[in-house]
Structure 1
Amino acid sequence: MEIIKEFIGALDEEIKAIKEGKGGSIVKIFNGRLLRESSGFFIYVFHLENFLAVLDDSPAEIQIEGESYPVQVLSTQGLEVEIGIEQSLGEFILEARLQTNLWYLLELLKKKYLEIEEGQTKQDFRISEILFGHQPGSSLSTTQSKCRYYLTKKPPNEDQKKAIEASFRSQVCIIWGPPGTGKTKTIAQAIEAHLYSGRRVLLVSHANNAVDEALEDVAEQLGDSQFYKEGKLVRLGKPQEKHLKILEEKYEMVLPEKIVSNLSEALLQEKEKLIREKTLLDKRIDECEQAQNFLQIVENFGNEKSAMEQGLKKTETNIQKKIDEFNALTYEKNKIQMKLHEAQSAGKLKKFFLGLDSEKLQKKVGQVFSAIDLNKGQQDELNKIRKGQIDHIQEKTCQFQQAQKEVENLLNYLNISREKLPVWLAEQKQRRASIEARIGEINEKLDEIQKKILSEAKLVATTLTKTYASKQFPDDPFDVMVLDEASMAPLPQVYWAAARSKTALTIVGDFLQLPPICISNESMAQKWLGRSIFTVLGVDTVPKTSADSRVTLLSTQYRMSPEISYIPNHLFYENRLHNDSSTIQRTFVDDLTSTPLVFVETQSVNPWCSRLEAGSRFNLYNALVCGALARRLLIAGNENVGIITPYAPQARLINKIAKDWELLDHLKVSTVHRFQGGEEEIIIFDTVEGVGNFIAPMVDDTRDSSARLLLNVALTRAKNKIYLVGNSGYLLSGLRQRAALKWVIQHFQERGTILNSESLIDNYFTADFEKYAEENIFSPSAALSQRTGNIYNEKNFWPQFFEDLKTTQGRVIILSPFVTIRRSTKMMDYFKALIARGVKIQILTRPRYQQSPEMSDQTEIVVKQLRDTGVVVMERAKMHQKIAILDNIAWEGSLNILSHRDTQEQMRRYQGQSAVEEIIKNLELENQEAIGNQTEEICPETGCGGFLIIRQAKFGRRKFLGCSNYPNCRYTKPINTPQNHYMRRRTR
């Protein structure tokens, strides 16, 4: 089939992109805590250092202090991850690394399709072909003319009734459920109707969270039915912790282990009894083996002692031989020395007749002295050996005595004689082996029972990945498949899962939500992994849904206050939504404002937005504002607060601030993509954009249509209140006239409350640079307030900055685009004092050629002085950021620290290790090959005189070296390439 070939190609492209590193696979995790033991897994929840793009139920590996353990990623939500481990690693795990094989499940699905393509296995894709528009659909025939389901305290509204009926009677039904319209309740009652008509239902979604939410509603709807009581509604896979608690407390008969427990009570009791017996046996066997080891020491001691004593005796004999040899050598030395003396005093005639040769005697004396020295060394070595042997004998004797005591104690404790110990130990091991064999038999029977439970289930609720990755997934096909949160479901998975149904499909979701995340940019991957099922179905706009008979709209929303719902309803849903009366009676008052729409204005600060090499961006000031606002709301008693942002680096930075401020346990921080499907009472939406970059297409729907979906998701997460954080002056002037975000900002300003960001971050005053530079270098520290997040102006910045400098112990990093002699000279003494006590200082500034003519010469002089002082100076082209990092303190704002004179500026002070490390990472301050860094290498082109700068290709993200005089000089060369392999382009 052509579509399967295309799926295989798309999966190949995505797998290749992930393996090339675009998807990332190793992430640091921390603050892990054990939640529970469930279904043979120990469930832990961790905070993530970075966002993890991984499918639920993916295999992975956790690394803790050099040890690795296989795990399963159960779910991720924002910067939290739940994992299952087959063994307990303690109540708490401070820090670990999680390594995921992001392509494993894609490889597995590809393998399944390859087996189909090659004819190794067969699968009926008829219903999948109908769904994907390759074959026509039809109405369902049913033995019952009426769609039957029971009404609850909150009966379905008219749209929901139509949707239930459509699901019941259509081969392909599309339920369009915008946020908060009660789609999971509708799903529950549609499933009930299918079950009562005798149909078997498969409920799937791309994520565990969505499956769990839908199943809870199904269980609530059918809690009194025989389907529930007989264990016919089954959850395949591990529910998220928060949902597992609810299911265990209210609806435990949807959990396979609970159903097994009810159906296999005798087997489970026997297994529990055997496990207890085995635990006791393990302890006894361990004690017996210890006794055996001690007995071996006792039994071996006699032979070992005899051998050691013989060795000692031999050494002592050798020592005595060396003593005798020493005495003989000493006698010989004295004898020769006497002859030498006689020879030296005798005349020639006497020497001749007595044969006295002074030279020979002198030589002989030297030889004897050498022999004596050698003898002494040998004696010393033998004495060392003797001492070691004596110590060894004493050590072994102590071990023998200790072993004797331990043996007696253990044998008395075990009530066994030495002679019977080996026989008793063998019997216990044999008993343990039989217990293990029996436990294995019981586990096989329990697995068979669980498989039977799944095969006989009338409803199986699971993730899409389980339909092809789980060995427990039932072989028999279902009558109906219900797909929830359909917009995020990868199409190859949907096609596969649909084939597990033989009759009908119900697709539930909202085409105005975000599609699946596709890493590869290749065409086939984008076609089948970057689009939603609604695009394939041809119902991805409001007019198209109106003209399609398969679509039923749920038009009454129950989530958002009317003031909030008005925005997406007007912008995206073409006024098709209606507010339920329950949304009108909402309370919006907190200690900041009393309206549901609040625009947090940062224009007076005009904060800088930094762009990363990968194209994403972050804004430190906005992050501080979000953190301060969230802390204020939490202190006031608001328990359900979420912060969302379009960019992962910004979400990571806010998360680090929340960690430093100990807010993580009470706050959800995530990207808009990863918050899809979630909701909170209060949402803080950070636009991030600011001076330093053009407004990204991600938030401008006039340049990228997906921006509309992102904005819609962001605006529909809040129930009661939205705080929109942004620089209105910058955004309104930079966005095109028809941009949705522009309309949203203006609507917030007209219908909501404007909150100045400076009211969230304090401001106070003191003195100027020169005074504090001179007073602080040699004077003790003054007691200054150091509240994180404060705004400082050009006056009060310097005293606090110098106080921070004085206490710096490890590092100083200053980003100052411009440098002047006047300002830098005043810093030199500080730098010298810091370097003398081991502080590393790094300064980043613009290259000389990017300075103004009057500052160019000053830059050259200052850079030389700094380098002569021991400061590491890096020149980075086109840099704009004004930042200082002093250990774990960050300063950021508009003031050039190494060139400031009399202009009015502002700086923000932030203290916190996690967030500061994130800033260093985002700005690549420790990366020698960061984009824009100027090397010391001069362009070799004749007459050019430029320096080589690290640049990045427009396509392919390849780094290379290019001349600073571009475009006048177009010389380039690859990084780390030998001279004779340079790539050159001649100057114009």
Structure 2
Amino acid sequence: MGVSFKIRSSIKRAVETGELLYLDYINKSETNTFYFFGIKSISFDGDNSKITGLSYNYQYKGYKQITIDLERIKDARCVEGTKNFIKSDLKKFIKVPKVNNYFTDEINEKHILNYYIDCIENTDDVSYVNTYKKRMKLNKEEVDNILKMLNVNQDKVKEKYKLAFNVLSISNFEKEIIPLVYIAVSLNVFNQEITMDTNEQVFHQRNIAKLTKTPDIDSSIFKGNLEQLQEQIKSVATHEPVFEENPQIFKLKIDLSLSPRKDYQKIKDIIYSKNEVTPVIKAFFGKYQKPLLSNNKNIYFIDNKVNADQVMATHSVINNDLTYVQGPPGTGKSATIVNMIVSSVLNNETTLVTSYTNSAVDNIFNKLRHLKYKDYYIPVPMMRIGSADYFKKGLSYIKKAHKYIESIKSEINITKLKEEYKSKIGKEIEKLLRINTIIDENVKLQDVETKIDYYDKLIEIFTNNKSLKGKVETIMKSRAAQKGQLTKITKRSIDNILDELDIDFEVILLGLFIKSFESFTKLSDEKYSYLREIIYSSSIEDSRKGLYQECSLSLNLSQIQNLFPIFLTTNISTRSLPFDKPTFDLLIMDEAGQCENAFAIIAMSKANRAAFIGDPNQLLPVVTLSDTTNNNLVYQYSIPEVYNYKKTSILQTLNQIDFINDLILLKKHYRCRKSIVNFANKKYYNGSLDIQVEKIEEEDCKFINVDSVFYEKKKNTSLPEAIAIINELEKIPADKSVGIISPYRNQTLLIDKKIKEHLPNSNVSIGTVHKFQGLEKDIILLSLAIGKDSYKGSYDWIKDNRQLINVATTRPKEKLIVVGDLTSIENLSNGEDSDIKDLISYTGKYKSETFTQADVGKKYSNLTSKHLYTKFEDLFFDTLQRVLNINHKTFKINGQTDVKQVLNIHRGHPLYEYATRASFDFLILDKKNNVKLAIELCGVEHRYDPIVIKRDEMKNKLAKESGLKIIYINNRDARRYRMLKEILIPLLK
């Protein structure tokens, strides 16, 4: 069976980090012994390797140097917070290729999931208890006590601890502190002392974000400026905090209750059992394959405010396994999600709607609550679950909806309404099916046009080759056949057909009303008396416990879904739903660009199909895991960048991993005037937004320059900016909605205070950018709050913060006013360009007649750009042309063929073993069977998996030795590549 990856990866990590291992070792008498082990050297021989090091356990008086057999280790784990300070060249040795290959596995599902478990279990510090003063030397009893605290089996405990040395904290209670900045402390068992690296300070991201009331703050801006951190916390605190800078060592309690360990084990059980893994989970691990047959289910819309991109997105969600939608600000993302949910319900499906934050979930929940059929509200049959406050909100909705249906029962003839719906819906479905037909025809049209293009290029190549000239007539006939196909397919615009169809949306709303009416009517049936008792319990907590208990079992959940086919909650709260099989037809994950991967996977495991909708150019996941811990875990598990917990969102990961399903961009922007959104469109979206608001005025964009100093010495405040904003507010008509945004909470508090003093009747919204995510206002004023007294770290945080700038500049419908101190910003920038300076320039130089020519500075590539038409065909045809021009002999094509057979690798060659296992996907050979060109189809693992990359290097080396050219075709081009093969194989047999 061999040594497990867990043992090998733990040894690899221990060498890199210097941590001790805790070993379960089978000694020569075949009994188990347990001890701590610091590696000194490795005599490498695969599973037969021997490891020498220092061992220690609680029974030892000191420590011993021993040599152990790798294959006798039953279990191993690294003990965080310990250090093995033996000097050696182990780090270099373990990177020697054959050694590294042994201790590094190919990337697989289990490693990625284990990595995310460790990320979550090293994130949440919740309690902080002082245990030691500044004392470095320890006695054996103290060493053992610390070891017992550090060495925990995380499968069996709900909390763990680590040691830290205080740099800055807040006194909380008599025995507790709230750490802000600390130095990690390590236990050196063998020297019986604790040590620390005073150069490596850890900023407690979660506590700093909470106490400064700035969720996405980059805590590194306070490096070297702890005074600024203290002042920022004091400025927003309701009570004066007591800061603690005394040198002391404390232990951090880490809550493991949120660990996905048990949830992931169920996912692993499904992956490694004979049960079929859902397409959604397959896609995350880069193993999704599109089915040959596609669905053709109906799609529905609740009104005529829908465009071609939204139609395509809804059609894809209802008919495909996976859909990715990028919804920039103002493009109707939320409205599209509502149409997706309605389509799912009217197709008798169950839908799970999730996101990272409760506010995003509530945004969809509230939109669904306000649907109407004629004069009646539609009580959409949905269940909002989650933490106590949000469950209470959902329960209140169900009670009100149930009572509403009971109150209108006497005036509703449901039988008559159903007959009316039945008589009318057929006609509407016919119209809607025409949209499906047009979408399918447009896909076919694209394929036919691509094939014709291929034939044109082949005719050109074959005409210039004497031996292949005779094939030109065959190609011409094939091309003519495709041309014939082209005349049978009518290219239709979806936008135009929507206008032509004249859909009666009231009929669709009637269908939803009937569904909803019947659901809440059934709730009164005797069959569901148990559910009514839970819902109407006098105790909210009893209702919550009872409902969660029912929803945790598949059979019981299925009964509840008969009434409530729509569930809404956060990703993390989906843990309460069953795991034995997917329990929903469709998952819709909103704000997927803000969803971190670890808990998104849990939500993904609950459904057979999924839609991921978001915008990476807006707010990203807030991850509080330290860089050091994350880097160690990435190294231990050999995690590719695409799965890096700190650097990606679920939308970014899937978009890079899954090349089968394209990302749909919602391009039509309905919110801002063209003059305002032009900045974000050019800078963040490659100019791809189609802006629908044509009105332009001379003062749509404006920059007000002030001379700023901190107000009452509070950091990141500017009284001149606040006064300038009040002056602008006095000019704005009372019927206009106004929002005031600042990156810094101190400034929002100051502006709020001054407005209450000067304009007490003013009705404006004030807050940081998070408050305005998903909202819109007629006018937005952006206060930068950077002045003469600002630290460079404060400027650095906002200077290229594209998420913050993008959200702030895409909220206003009619006017954007930026207020700031240009001189201070110029001084802090040291003459370097930045997004914030580009925004100041754009608004400061704005003129209605020339704004389209305005320079927006540095531009960012759009997420969808990699899904635009790729040029692999040019590479393919250019190479084919060169091969055929070498000489004028007949060529033929072979399918998958062994590398050893193709390249005649002899047994003594150093890569012989590899050559016997490897193969080429596609070969072009001459008349004498000499291989002239090889083509390889490569998935995501060829870019991210070090083992696969190493194999590719070996294949390239062998090919180079034989003078063979290899073309690598990315998976995203697989469909076009297969199309080419279908054309070429008959021609070159």
Q: What TM-score, normalized to structure 1?
A: 0.43
Q: Which structure is larger by alpha-carbon Rg, 1 or 2? A: 1
